[in-house]
């Protein structure tokens, strides 16, 4: 009797162990196939990102990010609206954080993975009012390009600059040198750019100029009907285009995930759906420039 009970107990124990092992294996397989989440930062910067109003989600990067997320269907995706300084801080951290449309710099490469070139845009330029053109004439070359450093060192010219933004490797170096010289022309700002306010300050004469993407300023001026008061000046020694990338935190994004992102970028970057959003928001004054950049992108003519 005891022997029979021992046999039944042993069978019961074996069945329990088998069931437990099966549950453990199922849980392990489930975890192995659970989708990882990528967190995407977005910045309220019309018309690059549009976070409110009738055109919410229809900005240039909004559309491109949706295409990229759809291509990365093996991952879950979460979008968070934040300021540019917080974007940079998140990229320095250990979360699974990425940002679409960021410039590559030596400093950023120390804490970020970068995809291949994802898009082409107009180079950083100086936006000023037509009333300043006579003052700027001595600092422009035959091609109309501006010697910005000489201007800021020799004239009174209040220039709005975002501290946490990269404009280009050469401009970043120049602005850093001017900050070390304590140049009084620089109006340094952290946080949200609030270009609608900056455009009003520019038109009212409280600022002399703004550095940045022409699209950002002109679309704001267009909404108030005062774009004819503004002038866009190219800057000496700047490239003919801005090259932007998908950047991700080195501490939070694995090489496998970054490889998947890079493959998706290479697949999408020369497709019409990915390229044409910039044309949707380009004012007529920039139309030819953006059509030229679009033709290059569609031909997969990227620097790297």
User: What pLDDT is recorded for position 110?
Assistant: 96
Query: Which of residues 84 and 159 earns the better pLDDT score?
Result: 159
Mean pLDDT of the chain: 85
User: What pLDDT is recorded for position 224?
Assistant: 61
Section 260-267 average pLDDT:
98
- Res. 195 pLDDT band, cuts 50 70 90: low
User: What pLDDT is recorded for position 64?
Assistant: 98
Instruction: Report pLDDT digits (tens) over 97-123.
Output: 999 999 999 999 999 999 999 999 989
Whether residue 166 contacts residue 108, with contact meaning beta carbons closer than 8 Å, is answered with yes
- Res. 24 pLDDT band, cuts 50 70 90: very low
User: What pLDDT is recorded for position 46?
Assistant: 82
Residues in CB range of 129: below 8 A, 6 or more apart: 202, 203, 205, 229, 230, 231
pLDDT exceeds cutoff 60 at 193: yes
DSSP class of 194: -
State pTM to two decimals: 0.82
User: What pLDDT is recorded for position 220?
Assistant: 62
Query: Which of residues 13 and 47 earns the better pLDDT score?
Result: 47
Residues in CB range of 59: below 8 A, 6 or more apart: 45, 46, 47, 48, 49, 50, 277, 281
Sign of CA dihedral 51, 55, 59, 63: positive
User: What pLDDT is recorded for position 231?
Assistant: 84
User: What pLDDT is recorded for position 200?
Assistant: 79
Cα angle value 56/297/301 (rounded, 5°): 155
User: What pLDDT is recorded for position 16?
Assistant: 45
pLDDT exceeds cutoff 50 at 57: yes
Section 123-152 average pLDDT:
94
Query: Which of residues 239 and 219 earns the better pLDDT score?
Result: 239
User: What is the C-alpha radius of gyration for the chain, rounded to an integer number of angstroms?
Assistant: 26
pLDDT exceeds cutoff 90 at 293: yes
> How far is it, in rounded angstroms, from Cα 60 to Cα 116?
19
Averaging pLDDT over each range in 47-51, 103-107, 116-120, 185-189, which range is the top one? 116-120
> How far is it, in rounded angstroms, from Cα 13 to Cα 76?
40
> How far is it, in rounded angstroms, from Cα 303 to Cα 168?
15
């Amino acid at each position: 009797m005891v022997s029979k009970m021992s046999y039944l107990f042993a069978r019961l124990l074996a069945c329990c162990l088998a069931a437990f092992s099966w549950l453990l294996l199922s849980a392990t397989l489930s975890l192995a196939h659970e989708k990882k989440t990528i967190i995407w930062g977005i910045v309220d910067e019309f018309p690059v990102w549009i976070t409110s109003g009738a055109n919410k989600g229809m900005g240039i990067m909004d559309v491109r990010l949706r295409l990229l997320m759809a291509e990365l269907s093996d991952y879950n995706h979460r979008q968070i609206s934040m300021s540019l300084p917080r974007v940079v801080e998140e990229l320095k951290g250990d979360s699974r954080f990425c940002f679409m449309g960021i410039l590559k710099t030596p400093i950023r490469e120390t804490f970020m993975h970068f995809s291949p070139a994802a898009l082409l845009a107009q180079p950083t330029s100086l936006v000023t009012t037509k009333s300043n053109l006579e003052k700027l004439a001595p600092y422009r070359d035959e091609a109309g390009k501006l010697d910005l450093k000489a201007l800021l060192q020799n004239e009174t010219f209040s220039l709005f600059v975002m501290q946490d933004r990269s404009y280009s490797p050469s401009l970043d170096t120049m602005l850093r040198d001017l900050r070390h010289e304590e140049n009084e022309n620089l109006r340094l700002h952290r946080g949200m750019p609030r270009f609608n306010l900056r455009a009003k300050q520019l038109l009212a004469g409280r600022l002399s100029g703004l550095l940045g993407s022409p699209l950002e300023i002109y679309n704001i001026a267009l909404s108030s009907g005062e774009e004819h008061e503004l002038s866009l000046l190219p800057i000496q020694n700047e490239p003919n285009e801005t090259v932007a990338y998908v950047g991700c935190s080195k501490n939070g994004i694995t090489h496998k995930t970054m490889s998947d992102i890079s493959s998706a970028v290479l697949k999408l970057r020369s497709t019409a759906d990915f390229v044409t959003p910039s044309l949707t928001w380009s004012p007529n004054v920039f139309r030819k420039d953006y059509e030229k950049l679009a033709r290059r992108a569609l031909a997969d003519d990227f620097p790297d």
